[in-house]
Copies of this chain bind each other. A is one copy, B any other.
Amino acid sequence: MALQKLNHAERAEALTQLPGWTHEPTRDAITKTFRFKDFAAAWGFMSQVALAAEKADHHPEWFNVYNRVDVLLTTHDCDGLSKRDVALALVMEGLAG
C-alpha cells in the first residue's frame, strides 16, 4: 500500500514531538540544522543516521559543512511528509542527544 501524506492535524501533532524542526511548505518537508562540537562529532551522528536510514530504506537529504548538518526529510513516494519522515526525525533526535 502506498504511503500517505500526513494531514494537517497529523503533521502538527508530529511537530510537537520534534523540537527545532520546521515545516517547509514548498516541498511539504521538515528541516532542522544540527550543530556539533566538530567534524568528527557531526560525522559520527551522520554515520549512525545513515545506518538507520538504510535499514528503513528511507533516506534524508542533507548538507554538511564541518560541525553543521542541515537535514530535510520528505517522502518521494507520496510527494510530501509521511510517517517515515517523522520516524527518521525521531531517530535523529535520539542520536543527536
Q: CB within 8 Å of B: which residues of A?
A: 39-40, 43, 47, 50, 53-54, 59-66
Residues of B within 8 A of A50 (CB): 39, 43
Asked if A54 and B66 sit within 8 Å, CB to CB, the answer is no
Residues of B within 8 A of A63 (CB): 61-64
In the complex, what distance in Å separates the CA atom of A48 from the CA atom of B39? 14
How many copies of this protein are present in the complex? 2
Residues of B within 8 A of A53 (CB): 39
Which 7 pairs across A and B sit closest by C-beta, in order of nearness?
A61-B65, A63-B63, A43-B50, A39-B59, A59-B66, A62-B64, A39-B54
Knowing that A43-B50, A61-B63, A61-B65 touch, tell me 17 more A-B residue pairs with CB under 8 angstroms: A39-B50, A39-B53, A39-B54, A39-B59, A40-B54, A43-B54, A47-B47, A59-B65, A59-B66, A60-B64, A60-B65, A61-B64, A62-B63, A62-B64, A62-B65, A63-B63, A63-B64
